[in-house]
Chain A
């Protein structure tokens, strides 16, 4: 592995996250134009990050939601008198 490729390999994430300064980015981009291996490496990592981000969100199941609210009511329902008339969490 060429020293240049190794150096870039270590910084791909920072490059993708825009955390490198302009000069370093430019240097990497120049290298990517002539190195298909590094290009493919960057593309695969970018796709991995995009895929993980897009598949990220989960929703808490209804029964867990209800148990969470019951627990919170049990623990905090008798706090200092509220200024509001409503005090239900459900």
Chain B
């Protein structure tokens, strides 16, 4: 059943439609919350806030955007609000120059390949831990863009709409986030954190 049908049924009072929407999106919203905050408790709060707000306002949702995009807009707002509440330090900027060598050369980075072999579960868990730790260290505004674009697969335009920023800002932040992750993952790899 399409999201459009589920929304229509929810508006008619169907609890089954609400359940179906939750079933469809809870893992994605949870993943986003976890990647944004790095803590299970925070991810749970983000997930609850997102669905509570979504169903509170779904009756007036006019489907000018996809349900998925709308849910992520609510989730992103919940993440920003949570960060404000925690009174975190202001976001630091990632400058492009910081990823370049001053002597005119590029650093070489060794990045491992992801193993799809089911018998490599330990390796996959190690890689996942390294990647999640690297994502955790990104400044908040870069992390938001990275998670929407590369984890959730939203387009540049969709990400800009969800966050209410320009397409250029999305591109700039995504590129710098990726460069920072490349550096972190490569360092962990060379330190033997991924075998």
Contacts and interface: CB of A to CB of B under 8 A. Distances in A.
Contacts of A10: 96, 175
B81 to A, nearest CB: 18
A25 to B, nearest CB: 15
A64 B44 contact: yes
Contacts of A88: 15
A89 B21 CA distance: 11
Contact of B51 (A47, A58, A68, A80): A68
Given A58-B27, A81-B13, A51 B114 contact: yes
B26 interface: yes
A82 B16 CA distance: 9
A51 B127 contact: yes
A89 B19 contact: yes
Interface in A48-84: 48-61, 64-65, 67-69, 71-73, 75-77, 79-84
Chain B, interface size: which category?
Answer: 35 or more
A12 interface: yes
Contacts of B131: 51-52, 55
Contacts of B152: 56
Given A1-B104, A19-B171, A38-B106, A51 B112 contact: yes
A52 B19 contact: no
Contacts of A72: 18, 22, 51-52, 55
Interface stretch (B61-69, B72-80, B83-91, B177-185): B177-185
Contacts of B127: 51, 55
30 contacts: A6-B100, A12-B175, A13-B171, A17-B156, A38-B106, A44-B109, A45-B178, A45-B179, A47-B112, A51-B113, A51-B185, A54-B114, A55-B124, A56-B35, A56-B150, A56-B152, A57-B27, A60-B30, A64-B47, A65-B26, A68-B22, A69-B19, A73-B15, A75-B52, A76-B15, A81-B13, A82-B12, A82-B13, A87-B16, A89-B15
Interface of A: 1-2, 5-6, 9-10, 12-14, 17, 19, 37-38, 40-41, 44-45, 47-61, 64-65, 67-69, 71-73, 75-77, 79-84, 86-89
Interface of B: 12-16, 18-19, 22, 26-27, 30-31, 34-35, 40, 44, 47-48, 51-52, 55-56, 96, 99-101, 104-106, 108-114, 116, 124, 127-128, 131-132, 135, 146, 150-153, 156, 171, 174-175, 178-179, 181-182, 185-186
